[in-house]
Amino acid sequence: MSFSTNSTITMTDFSAKTLDRLSIRDRILGFDRFASPDKHTINTDIVIFISHKISTVSEWYLENGKSIKLTPDQLVLGRILDSSRAAWNAAGEYGVGATVQVFCGYQSPGRSSYFTETSIVKIQAATQEEVYFIDTMYKNFIVNSVAVKTTY
């Protein structure tokens, strides 16, 4: 469960920091996925562990213009094509046309969430590169605007 070196994590002040500049005890933007079925509570999370290694990653290109490189086992909040509700799924289970939850930085009009959905429009073939694994106190956080989860 890892991300490429140049991925950015959202900090509590809504700035972005690349993973290679992240430090233990940094305060990042986290969220509670289960506040209610359609609402996420934004909170402060704290980085408690960081490691890096060479691993296989694929790059997703999203409808909102963003992209993210991640390992196939990374958990992402979204809907696989035949799902009606967002759930945590391994990145390797997603395909073009699936949707993922992305942080929009504000509560959208008519919505009670700081997140919205965007589609995966292209998946670039897997390559080997340096990746970072991070762990946080509360496990749910935002990388390249995408809602992700730390698991072991």
Q: What is the pLDDT of residues 131-147, one digit of tens each?
A: 999 999 888 888 999 99
Domain boundaries, the chain: 3-144
Total-model pTM: 0.87
The strand ranges marked E within the chain are 3-4, 8-10, 16-18, 27-36, 39-62, 67-70, 75-79, 87-90, 99-103, 115-136, 140-143, 146-149
Q: What is the pLDDT of residues 11-25, one digit of tens each?
A: 988 899 999 999 999
Q: Which CATH architecture has domain 3-144?
A: Beta Complex (2.170)
Q: What is the pLDDT of residues 66-111, one digit of tens each?
A: 999 999 999 999 988 777 788 889 999 999 999 999 988 765 455 4
Please tell me the distance from the alpha carbon of residue 56 to that of residue 65, in angstroms, as a whole number. 23
Please tell me the distance from the alpha carbon of residue 87 to that of residue 147, in angstroms, as a whole number. 11
